[in-house]
Amino acid sequence: MPLSFIKESSKPTPPPWKIAIIDDEEDIHTITKMALKRFNLDNRGLTFVHAYSAKEGKELLRNEAEVAIVFLDVVMETDDAGLEFARWMRQDLENHFTRIVLRTGQPGQAPEEKVIMEYDINDYKEKTELDRKKLFTTVFSALRAYRDIMAVDEARKYQQLYREGLERVIDSTSNVLEKRTLQHFFSGILQQVMSLLHIDEQSLLVQVKGISAVYSENDYKILASINCSECTQANEINDETLKYLNMARDQKKSIFVDDILVGYFPSNSDKVSLLFLKGIDQIHDIDSALLEVFSGNVSLAFDNLLLNREIIETQEELIYRLGDAVESRSKEAGNHIKRMSEVSYMLAIKMGLSIEEAELLKQAAPMHDIGKIATPDSVLLKPGRLDDQEMTIMKEHPNIGYSILEGSDRPILKSAAIIAQQHHEKFDGSGYPNGLSGEDIHIYARIVAVADVFDALTHKRCYKEAWPVDKVIDFLKEESGKHLDPIVVQKMLSNIDSAIEINQLYR
């Protein structure tokens, strides 16, 4: 998933080299500027800033950034004002990069050898010897030294930033790899990319759904979004955002226009994903390099996640088909296991279980009645109430289900074994097969029990008609703390509309 960001606007012209003249003689300022007015190095001319005393010079250096050279007079307010200024600049201001060219009209006041050694002066000139030619030579030499020093420092900073950035990439990749669902994976990508680039404005991760002659909002599916209120409410993308997404699609590459970055990610499955980020002033080389490392790692993680998702979806389909086999044999209401699984997932989330636990519960719940596969038709399909002997046979199905599923190391089957064995236990201890009570019953089984009762009551069975919702609510309240976990019941009652919506979705 390589990244190549192209800035559409032209690169800005590099600024001129900045020269500070600190001298109490006005003529020295004028002559220096005139002598160097045609100077150019690396296609950069010169700009001058001025001070007429050491005191003014200190104020100037505090406020002016990236001063390449200081032309410094020795004798100003005092005989050694320039030397004191040089000491202050190197020690107090901690500026060791700017080149200092000391100029004096009274050489006896500051012996050259002593000054250069003790005050970290880079060059020493008498004012009388600084004609135009020597000024050019002096400035050229000093600027080249300043340029090279800054390049070395920039490289050092780059290495440090890259090292720190790689640590962020490793942390970010680890965070993304922890996401087990595609939705959380995509949200994790978005959050980590924003963290790497230090931005907090609107961002989107979208997938191109199809190819059309005229691009439109319907071409895109929003996978994840941050700071986009309309995106969280519906799959809506405004016209301004669409313009940049379509631009990247047209060019089939990542683009960087204005303050917008759109990353273009084709995949082996012919699908294209687009990363939209707003509020970026510029993409430094280090940011591009870090994003390339990050996206490469994420690409591998995404491929692995898709393979894992394929395995999980295959497992889910086999589980549902197995559940359907039991369901069709017992002539339960159509889509019973699908509704019950979705309601169990909803309740798990409301109970505060993690997304991973809720997903596991949803995947395992369809096998809750797997033990009924061994129940005789005469008992399973009897339209009326079961007698004592028939009820004894029926009560065997939890342990039969457990015996079918136990012994696996797979989380889904381990969870399914627990649910199969415990979903007929009752909160007050009067259930079967083991008479468990309260929190001795696994939370998965307590949730499935409520979801199973709700679905059984709201749908027609061979032995009864469907109950109206009001009657179901009254029954859940009556069984709270007896048959059913009161906390799970309360979550069901608080979210009854969501459960009814699931019923409508899977009629």
Cβ 275 vs Cβ 241: under 8 Å: no
The three-class DSSP label of residue 164 is helix
The three-class DSSP label of residue 255 is strand
**CA–CA separation, 472 and 489 (whole Å):** 11
**CA–CA separation, 420 and 320 (whole Å):** 15
Helix or strand (DSSP H, E) at 19:
strand 17-22
Cβ 193 vs Cβ 173: under 8 Å: no
CA angle 57, 58, 59 (to 5 degrees): 90
- Which of the following is catalytic: 372, 414, 482, 491? 372
**CA–CA separation, 459 and 130 (whole Å):** 101
CB neighbour burial string for 322-351, b if at least 16 within 10 angstroms, e if fewer: bbbebbeebebbebbbbbbbbbbbbbbbbb
- Residue 124's DSSP bridge partners are 102
Place of tokens 């649910």: 419
H helices present in 234-284, as ranges: 239-251
Place of tokens 């898709």: 306
**CA–CA separation, 294 and 260 (whole Å):** 20
The three-class DSSP label of residue 78 is coil
Query: Is 372 a residue of the active site?
Result: yes
- Residue 272's DSSP bridge partners are 266
**CA–CA separation, 290 and 9 (whole Å):** 23
The three-class DSSP label of residue 41 is strand
Name the CA dihedral angle for 502, 504, 505, 507, rounded to a multiple of 10 degrees: 110
Q: Which amino acid is at 370?
A: I
Task: Locate the DSSP E strands across 227-321.
Answer: 255-257, 260-266, 272-278
**CA–CA separation, 350 and 487 (whole Å):** 10
**CA–CA separation, 443 and 133 (whole Å):** 88
Residues classed as catalytic? 372
